[in-house]
Structure 1
Amino acid sequence: MTKKVLIVAENFPPNGVTSSRRPGEMAKYLPNFGWTPIVITSKWRPDNCNYDPSIVPNIQEDLVKYETESSKPHAFQKLTEQVIRVLQPQRHPYSRLKSTQKKIEYVLKNEKIDAIWVTVPPFNLLEATSIIASKKKIPWIADFRDAWQFAPNQFVRLTMASRLKYERELLMSAAAITTVSTGFAETLQKRHNRLIQTIPHGFDPELNLNTSNEYPEIFNIVFTGGAVLGKPNFRPLLDAIGKLIQDGKIIEEKIRIDFFGAGNSVALARMFENHKYANLVKDYGPIPRIKAIENQRKAAILLAAGHPGAKGVITSKIFEYITAGRPILSIPKDNDCIDELLEKTNCGVSCTTTEEIKIAVLELYKKWESGELSNIPSSEQVLLYSSHARAKELANLLNEVTGLGK
């Protein structure tokens, strides 16, 4: 029996952003477990996104996608959008909500859908899904890649109560709720007083199981992706490196911090402004995901950002990092899921203070200098974090909420 799941996601391949990977990899691997995905997403083109077909390689060519496309709004639509943004910010952008809702209605008229999986943010996709799913009596699962925890500005702070009320009302009809970390699960469980299931991010095994045999010629510390979200601060790393250079412990010409990712220039300029060793920081800008993977494997060590105080925040990149065969340095300690993952996999260390970072960097530098720098976890350990395994978890949940079994 063919079982079909409708995946609703704002970002999806070939949009080369991190948030495209989770729905893209679920769509890629769900057929292995008896579920045929049909996708609703925005129409992504080279002119409207960081276009990167390699973001999820070898995704099925015959994948059925229904794409929404923004048209130029007329005056009344612009006015409506602004009114909604002020009075009902939880529904903003309203045009996306309505276009997605219409597309879901269209799909349900033309396809036999057994379940719906919607991944957020943007949070108004919950409304686009829940109303029509409830009306058609189709079980739906709400997946949270992020959750409201901190207000980024005063307007969000003032409107947080209405945002959370909106979320609670919409989720009452959800057959299940999933999220990416135990921290988020605890937050959502308290908020909604119901079981929240954790299906963490994963890595695509097609991209990551083969590590590089090339030994790094320079002690390069590599960060891939955006260095903006959560406002990470890596200045203590450069402070630590500077002190090690001044103490004669490492050679300046043999160390470098490399950033690969779109939109990092302003943040890096601010982060390392007027630093004596700012010349050691190199910003290479945006590159395709496959190139990011290659640079991860060629690195001496990999740099990650911790987010202390933001319970449950863990990006899919960290799972990609653990398969690269290189030690991970996370700054600062998050005392949460990232620290736990690095300890569990023995793939790296978290540091906060300049002194802690100095000790960690020097130890790794000495290993690199002696030709002994390696950190390749076992295949069995790595496979526990594959998106193939995550898709199996989602397929099992879909079987459960639909009663369709295997």
Structure 2
Amino acid sequence: MKKVLIISYYWPPAGGPGVQRWLKFAKYLPKYDVEPVIYVPENAHYPLKDPGLEEKVPENIKVIKKPIFEPYSLAELLSGKDTQKISSGIIPEEEQQGFIQKLMLFVRGNFFIPDARKFWIKPSVKFLTKYLQENPVDAIITTGPPHSMHLMGLKLKKKLNIFWIADFRDPWTQIGYHKKLKLLQRSQQKHKKLEKAILDGADHLITTSFTTREEFQKITLTPIKVITNGYDHEKVEAVVLDEKFSLAHIGSLLSGRNPKNLWAALKELTLENEDFAKDLQLKLVGAVGEPVLESIKQAGLEKWLSVQGYVSHTEALQLQRSSQVLLLIEINIEDTRGIIPGKLFEYMVSNRPILAVGPEKADIQKIIRETNTGAYFLYAEKEEIKAHILELYRKFKAGDLRSHPIGLQKYSREALTGELAKLIKEMV
């Protein structure tokens, strides 16, 4: 049996999609004769917490925890609300940022490179060097963001000459919010230099999207494999479908994810169709940016809007299965073409149709079409969005609104773990 050390920042009780990927890999790796050992922070400043996930950590998995210094915990003394938002990835547009937010973003981008978890690198490398000398493994895997985890891998690789796989759940310098960090030129150059060092220093790279692989292939010769996120076979209590024609977005809806044409299409339908106006419900579950809420109100949809905060993963699964239509919104810029939200795969097995809006040539468009789980539109396609919603509504009224997926099995967490285990065995 192969043995791997997995270095991650996110681990239960952390909530949100970042924790799911390696929690599930750890669950299934032993089935493929790979023993995982997990290294995570002991006192991490997680912006979202879901204590229920701790019950899903396999009992036979060894988890090593060491303290971490978190600057965000000090920043909360200055502005707890702004700190919570920024650490969650909710960055307002330039014109909507206050002085404190601008200051925090400048400090975050220029003093904490690659990220605010950089102070965990040195003590972790010191501890893990000794640990690995006494407890050998066949490979180490780092997963980021935060990309400080990858810098640990680079240093351990140089010290111990151990096989190292770097898993990128999101891009680094190409991710949308990177440009909002008010980077000085020298800071931007340092980010790019560190990114290049990681890409070239790893023995193998993993990305969660095809676009990110293509972007990395332009700047490194290191082999890259795409292993997307996926769905697990979760036990969810039976739910009853909403009586309303509910369109639900479940997960963070950041300020850049603001499809004004979708809101406009919904408003027009309420004006043109009396029954539609009676049946409609717009549900937003999770953190929502103020600009998004303002746009919805300006569109005249406040009457139909239901906003709910962060919910546990179990509750999120239940909401996915009870809603009539599931909304998936991505920021309308080229940099987000390779972002594949983890919730997409849970949406796909919910038996509910997906209505997605995003940029051109997005990876999510390819997956949705390939699996026949919904429809994808560009931000500008208001009339097309409107016509599709009306068709979904007609099916709702006829009692025939559901999805008809095909080929989902390859996106199961167990099957994806098989791909990871195969890579480990072939390369180590």
**TM-score bracket, shorter-length normalisation:** 0.7 to 0.9
Amino acid at match of 2:128: I
* Contact 1:5–1:114 under 8 Å retained in 2: yes
The separation in 2 between residues aligned to 1:365 and 1:66, in whole angstroms, is 51
Q: Give the drift of 1:11.
A: 0.8
The 8 Å contact of residues 340 and 363 in structure 2, kept in 1 or not, is answered as yes
How many Å apart are 1:55 and its aligned residue? Answer: 4.2
Which residue matches 1:370? 398
Q: How many equivalent residue pairs?
A: 387
Match of 2:83 in 1: none
Alignment partner of 1:155: what SS?
coil
Q: Structure 1, residues 358-394: CA drift from partner, whole Å, max 9, x if none?
A: 101000000000101111425xx22211111111111
Q: Distance in 2 between matches of 1:72 and 1:186?
A: 33
Q: 2:239·2:318 contact (CA, 8 Å) conserved in 1?
A: no
Distance 1:237 1:199 in 2: 31
> Per-residue deviation at 1:203?
1.1
Confirm or deny: 8 A CA contact 1:204 1:387 kept in the other structure.
Answer: yes
Distance 1:368 1:106, change over 3 A: farther
Match of 1:78 in 2: none
- Aligned AA (1:9): S
Q: Distance in 2 between matches of 1:51 and 1:315?
A: 18
Q: Secondary structure at the match of 1:315?
A: coil
RMSD: 2.7
Partners of 2:354 and 2:70 lie apart in 1 by 45
Amino acid at match of 1:58: K
CA displacement, residues 160-189 of structure 1 (integer Å, 9 cap, x when unaligned): 222122222233331101101110000001
2:265 maps to 240
Quick one: which of 186, 194, 200 aligns to 2:222? 194
Q: How does 1:254-269 map to 2 (within 5 A)?
A: 254-261=279-286, 263-264=287-288, 266-269=290-293
The structure 1 residue matched to 2:304, chosen from 267, 280, 283, is 280
Q: How does 1:320-331 map to 2 (within 5 A)?
A: 320-331=346-357
Query: Could you give the per-residue CA deviations for residues 189-243 of structure 1, whole angstroms, max 9, x where no partner exists?
Result: 10113332111111112358x9x67343111011111111x72013322211111
SS in 2 for 1:251: helix
- What secondary structure does 2:18 align onto? helix
Kept in 2, the 8 Å contact 1:304–1:330? The answer is yes
After TM superposition, list the pairs within 5 Å mapping 1:20-59 onto structure 2: 20-43=19-42, 49-55=47-53, 58-59=56-57
1:112 aligns with 2:127: no
**Among residues 140, 160, 175, which one is paired with 2:188 in the alignment?**
160
Deviations 1:249-308 (A, max 9, x none): 6432211111111x3263543332433222211111111110100010011010001344
Which residue matches 2:60? 62
Whether contact under 8 Å (2:109, 2:181) holds in the other structure is no
Q: Percent identity?
A: 26
- Determine the structure 2 residue equivalent to 1:335: 361
Q: 1:28 Cα deviation (Å)?
A: 1.0
Would the aligned equivalents of 2:69 and 2:117 in 1 still touch at CA under 8 Å? no
Among residues 293, 297, 317, which one is paired with 2:321 in the alignment? 297
Provide the secondary structure at the position in 2 that maps to 1:36.
strand
- Between the aligned partners of 1:246 and 1:206, the Cα distance in structure 2 is 40
Q: Which runs of 5+ in 1 are unaligned?
A: 76-81
Identify the residue that residue 102 of structure 1 maps to in structure 2: 126
Q: Distance in 1 between matches of 2:284 and 2:70?
A: 36
Give the letter for the 1:152 counterpart.
Answer: K
Give the Cα–Cα distance (whole angstroms) in 1 for the partners of residues 55 and 233 of structure 2. 10
User: What SS is found at the alignment partner of 2:234?
Assistant: helix
Q: Could you list the structure 1 runs, at least 4 aligned residues long, displaced by more than 6 angstroms after superposition.
A: 82-85
Secondary structure, aligned partner of 2:258: coil
Structure 1 residues 277, 163: closer, same or farther in 2, change over 3 A? same
- Distance in 2 (CA, whole Å) between partners of 1:86 and 1:364 is 47
TM-score, length of structure 1 as denominator length: 0.87
CA distance in 1: counterparts of 2:225 and 2:184, whole angstroms: 27
Structure 2: runs of 5 or more not aligned? 75-105
Question: Judging changes above 3 Å, is the alpha-carbon distance between structure 1 residues 368 and 83 closer, same or farther for their aligned structure 2 residues?
Answer: closer
Aligned to 1:312: 338
- Picking from 202, 217, 222, the partner of 1:174 is 202
Counterparts of 1:108 and 1:146, CA distance in 2: 28
- What is the CA–CA distance in structure 1 between the aligned matches of 2:34 and 2:181, rounded to whole Å? 43
Tell me which residue corresponds to 2:99: none
| Cα pair 1:265 1:283 within 8 Å, conserved | no
- Pair 1:122-2:150 in alignment: no
